[in-house]
Amino acid sequence: MNPSRRRARIRSVNGGGKPLSCSRLAYRGTMAEAKLYCRRCRHFSPANSSACSNCGASDGLEPFRLEGKKSDGRFVRVWWPTLENTDDAKVAAYLGAGYALFIGSVSTILAISNITGLTHNWMGFGVLDCFVGVFYLVCAFFIFHMSRLAALLALVLYMGIKALLLNAGAATGGNVVSWILFGLFLVNGVRGTYTYHDFVAGSVETDNESEQGRVE
């Protein structure tokens, strides 16, 4: 294909805007070519597939039309992404891990800075905040590895700290709104890790059933 025509085709796929990145273009291309949708593992397979290319199930395939699927708005994609497969679940989990990493890094750096005297009690961060920051960093590491417990602990700690601040009267209306919005990142961490393991368990169960069927 002529390079200029190829670039024009890429722009048309992206709604006339900037060309898509390679990863996003590959994802959309895969979605456009997929015709069958697996209800068991929620992956897509070519139209001529007799079984799911991911989990091997043959009784869970159904037609899928890309043009009938409405895309989420930007707000929904960022704050409450749709979880349709393991890749979506990982993206949601990474939102939680990323925010836990951010909180942990900021808290630890500011606390160490105050403790060592580099700054003079800036924003009131102290030894306890340093421990809290390290805890968030540990949680972030395990959430990146799809740990449901770490995601839950990070969310519980976040909610507990905000509840204490509310009880102490150290919050305004704007603060509460921002706490809720950024707290959704940690909620998505819980959603993503739990949904990921649900998909994996369903795929393993399907593999076991297929293996038993072949043995029988």
Structural tokens at position 203: 């795929």
The reply to whether 131 and 186 lie within a common domain is: yes
Identity of the amino acid at 162: K
Structure pTM?
A: 0.62
Same structural domain, 102 and 196? yes
- For 197: left if phi > 0, alpha if psi spans -120 to 50, otherwise beta; the answer is alpha
Which residues span the domain enclosing 51?
3-70
In a domain, 208, yes or no: no
What is the amino acid identity at position 169? G
Q: Which of 18-22, 134-138, 204-208 shows the lowest mean pLDDT across its residues?
A: 18-22
Domain termination site, one of 38, 70, 102: 70
* The last residue of a domain, from among 15, 39, 70: 70
Q: What is the pLDDT of residues 26-52, one digit of tens each?
A: 334 444 444 677 777 777 777 777 788
Cross-strand bridge partners of residue 62: 37
Q: Is residue 189 part of a domain?
A: yes
| Domain count for the chain | 2
Do residues 132 and 161 lie in contact, with contact meaning Cβ atoms separated by under 8 Å? yes
Cα angle: 58, vertex 54, 84; to 5 degrees: 100
User: Are residue 64 and residue 81 in the same domain, yes or no?
Assistant: no
